[in-house]
Amino acid sequence: MLIDSASMYFRAFYGVPESVTSPDGMPVNAVRGFTDMMSTLLSKYRPTHFVACLDNDWRPAFRVALVPSYKAHRVAVPTPKGQPDIEEIPDLLTPQVPVLLAVLKAAGLCSVGADGYEADDVIATLANRHDQRGERVDVVSGDRDLIGVVTERVRLLYTGRGVAKLEELTPQAVVEKYGIPSELYPDFAVLRGDPSDGLPGVPGIGEKTAAIAVTKFGSVEKILDVARSADNAMSPTIRTRVLAAADYLAVAADVVRGQRDLQIAELSCAIPAVPADAEMLEALAERFGLASSIGRLRTALAAVGS
């Protein structure tokens, strides 16, 4: 099970009231919600291994160089040239992130990031690695771009409606929902656009036309090849729109597609039956008023761990 950590703790922060605080008044709604989500996922899906994947860089420079608008609307304040952009994060969430990561560490649940890359890239690399080995993988995220990693062995547990109402997206489910093969979802998103990531899309091409185009022609690269060719396979209107956006289309797919070849060492990520540091976990429970949530996490570990 590969968790998109930022996706999950943002969801926890907005899903649990800010009135949930530690004994000294610090908000811990994201920590509690995140911990409870982990317990629910472990208990329901009973994975043998677990990795919380991290955004070591939420807006990588190589993606911004290709599409400057990528996540630009989420930059908190201008930063000096050459310095990494700072993401706009609620003030009450920022101090909670180290706490929830400490809970994972004390519990013995693995977390990993890669410098210069997003959690999506870590997930794509690890999902591809285990898929190639013939192992089944569950990816948990509210980011639809990760539909692109779905295969017969890799399933996306999409959290768009919350962990209690997960959508289990297999290749068949993706075709039924979007009318496209899962591996072409990034190409579909590039054509249609995605305001949440600052992707403009191709003017005049909406969801339906984008789905038809990728189903008929394939990847963005192939769509461009057809548009530039002399045959009549593509309607004149779509051809005109694709060619007008050729510069964007030539680079945007690499912004959306997760990197699948990061140099990530083999991870020791088997789920333990008992916490790795029970004393630290107990201290966190007491310090932040998380006894009930950490109790549920202990129960989940005991049920599924080895």
Cα separation, 3 vs 142, in Å, equals 10
Alpha carbons 41 and 280: distance in angstroms, whole number: 23
* pLDDT value at residue 81: 67
CATH number at residue 150: 3.40.50.1010
> Looking at the structure, do residues 144 and 235 belong to the same domain, yes or no?
no
Q: Which residues of the chain have pLDDT under 50?
A: none
Does 202 lie in the same domain as 294? no
Same domain, 174 and 190: no
The answer to whether residues 27 and 170 belong to one domain is yes
pLDDT of residue 74: 87
For residue 157, give Cα distances in angstroms to 100, 103, 216, 246.
Answer: 21, 23, 27, 33
What's at 58, amino acid-wise? W
pLDDT at 75: 87
Domain count, the chain: 2
> Can you tell me which residue has the tokens 């339906």?
208
pLDDT at 80: 65
The side-by-side arrangement of strands in the sheet containing 167-169 is 110-112, 51-53, 2-4, 137-141, 154-158, 167-169
The Cβ-side half-sphere exposure at 160, using a 13 Å CA radius, reads 10
For 67, the token pair is 């599409």
Q: What is the pLDDT of residues 153-182, one digit of tens each?
A: 999 999 998 898 999 999 999 999 999 999
Residue 75 DSSP SS3: strand
The model's pLDDT over 65-85, given as tens digits with 9 standing for 90+, comes to 999 999 998 888 666 666 677
Residues 107 and 209 in one domain: no
> Same domain for 252 and 240?
yes
How far is the C-alpha of 180 from the C-alpha of 219, rounded, in Å?
Answer: 11
CATH code (residue 192): 1.10.150.20
User: Do 4 and 142 touch, CB atoms closer than 8 A?
Assistant: yes
Do both 219 and 292 map to the same domain?
no
Q: Are residues 243 and 275 in the same domain?
A: no
85 plus 128 within the same structural domain: yes
- Can you give the pLDDT at residue 231? 83
Helix (H) or strand (E) holding 154: strand 154-158
3-state DSSP assignment of residue 80 = coil
Q: What is the DSSP letter of 94?
A: T
pLDDT digits (tens, 9 = 90+) for 9-41: 999 999 999 999 999 999 999 999 999 999 999
Contact by Cβ (8 Å): 199, 189:
yes
